[in-house]
Amino acid sequence: MVTIKASVQNQGPFNFNIEANGNNNVAWSTNCIQRVNSTTAAGCSSSPTFVSESINEASLNGAGSAFSLIQGGFEQSGTIYNGDLTLYLSNTAGSAETAVMNTYVANSIVNDAWNFGDPVSAGSLALTANS
């Protein structure tokens, strides 16, 4: 899967998967728990989700409402945060763009339909007009 480096409110940069069909920017919390296929709860860094990088939700500002959504093959829930999201355009210093936008920080995954067993980085960044 194609990835891009991004920071959420100065955390990172982390690798994020590109979500061509999604409407939301999603990151996974360091407190993320998965219950995939009704199995016993486990950290999201464990099989089958394999989240490799995560956001410290306690350090974020701009907490908004709770969410529950399906995107990128994951059924997930958590809290929406509004703040800086920085995209790193290349490996060259200074090649970054920052905008204030929503990031959906998931602390629960209950289904992993598309990426089952594959590492998923820190989350997914949407490329649609609404993101």
Give 53-78 pLDDT, tens digit per residue: 899 999 999 999 999 998 877 889 99
Tell me if the bond preceding 119 is cis, omega within 30° of 0. no
Residues 6+ away with beta carbon under 8 Å from 131: 22, 23, 24, 25, 101, 125
Rounded Cα distance between 122 and 1, Å, is 13
The pLDDT, as a whole number, for residue 114 is 64
Regarding beta strands 123-126 and 11-19, do their DSSP bridges make them parallel or antiparallel, or are they unpaired?
parallel
Q: How far apart are CA 56 and CA 2, in angstroms?
A: 24
Q: Give me the mean pLDDT over the 75-96 stretch.
A: 86
Token look-up 């989350």 returns 123
CATH 1.10.10 describes domain 3-126: no
Q: Given this model, what pLDDT does residue 121 score?
A: 82
